[in-house]
Amino acid sequence: MKRKSVYISLLLLFSGLLLFCDSSALAALEADEVLVIANSWADESVSLANYYLEKRGLPKENLLKVQIDKKEICSRRDYKKKILSPVKKYLERRELKNEPRAIRCLLLMYGMPLKVASTELSAIEKKQQRLLKEQQDALKKEHETPGKNDSEKKDLAVKLKKVKTALKSFHWNRELASLDSELALVLAGNYELHGWQLNPSYLGYRGRKIADMPDISLMVARLDGPTPELVKRIIDDSLTAEKTGLTGTAFFDARWPQPKQEKAKELKGYDFYDNSIHLAAEQIKKDGRLNVVIDDKNKLFQPGECPNTALYCGWYRLGQYLDAFDWQTGAIGYHIAPLL
């Protein structure tokens, strides 16, 4: 999906989902509009799904069991056959039955893969890739040969750039995708698998006609964690927070001070994402239900600096998580890790 949807995601997460004590915030999504997808081949995936159905009052028919190896990455062939096809058939059968409400949200349960691998290259594609690599090596060698004048080097550089561009289409991650993102487009029909796809649910695209943009996307959520016990706790804690209300402090960890409003429209890359953290913090401040702390320094929150954390949003640092938080029951944490 389009990467600039991060800002609206933050607003939806913090200004909508956090208001557990306000039933109107949850009324937009009814229980029978959620389809829970569990993996019969993964230990406790189905039992956790049934537990969720019972606690949330979902109909038993809103559970779809698929059978796929419990691995982090599944092949695109397995995704299409073992996940995409069953989900699509389920939705089509439901439509034929004229159910009062359509499924609007797909909930992936513990035990489902996280990613979908690229389609394997065919024999012809492998040959094309090999020939392009050979051509690239030859052009590099010729470009580095002494005695070439500037015009010849420039011509070789142009040819080399074209070959490199052609090779990108064969790269291992050309179609690598989040399973959640792919399933969001289960009803969208055929769409380009290579690269980013525009999100028709993104507010910035409402009412705009954009070529090749999918017509529809579904909400996709995931109940997952290192252990089944933690997943069950997430279910229980969310129910507790809805009954008692979510209290505490909202912590936002930006990298830089918020830019002036007149410069916000010009922001790109990391600056754009960093400003989205400030904007989300402003939204929570306006709501007035939680205290808000914003850190606009480059350093991350340190251990002990975030007591009674109800909400957190900040930058992700691979392999260097700092346990700065004393989490409240039902708290929400949101890390930003954009691909630019």
Q: Is 276 contained in some domain?
A: yes
> Residues 317, 269: one domain?
yes
pLDDT at 172: 58
- What is the domain range of residue 286? 1-19+246-340
> Residues 284, 213: one domain?
no
Q: Is 43 contained in some domain?
A: yes
Integer angstrom CA distances of residue 110 from 68, 71, 323 = 13, 11, 24
Q: Domain count of the chain?
A: 3
pLDDT interval class at 214 (50, 70, 90): confident
pLDDT tens digits for range 49-66: 999 999 999 999 999 999
Instruction: Choose between 124 and 224: higher pLDDT.
Output: 224
Q: Is 313 contained in some domain?
A: yes
With 0-12 / 13-18 / 19 or more C-beta atoms within 10 angstroms meaning exposed / middle / buried, residue 15 is middle
pLDDT tens digits for range 3-35: 333 333 443 344 333 333 333 334 478 999 999
In sequence order, which residues have a C-beta less than 8 Å from that of residue 48 and are 6 or more positions away?
38, 109, 110, 111, 223, 228, 231, 232, 235
> Residues 266, 183: one domain?
no
Q: Write the DSSP symbol of residue 255.
A: S
Q: Is 239 contained in some domain?
A: no
> Residues 191, 204: one domain?
yes
Q: Is 233 contained in some domain?
A: no
> Residues 179, 90: one domain?
yes
Average pLDDT of the segment spanning 132-160: 89
Is residue 243 pLDDT above 90, yes or no?
yes
> Residues 108, 252: one domain?
no
> Residues 99, 194: one domain?
yes
> Residues 280, 332: one domain?
yes
Q: What is the mean pLDDT of the chain?
A: 86
> Residues 304, 210: one domain?
no
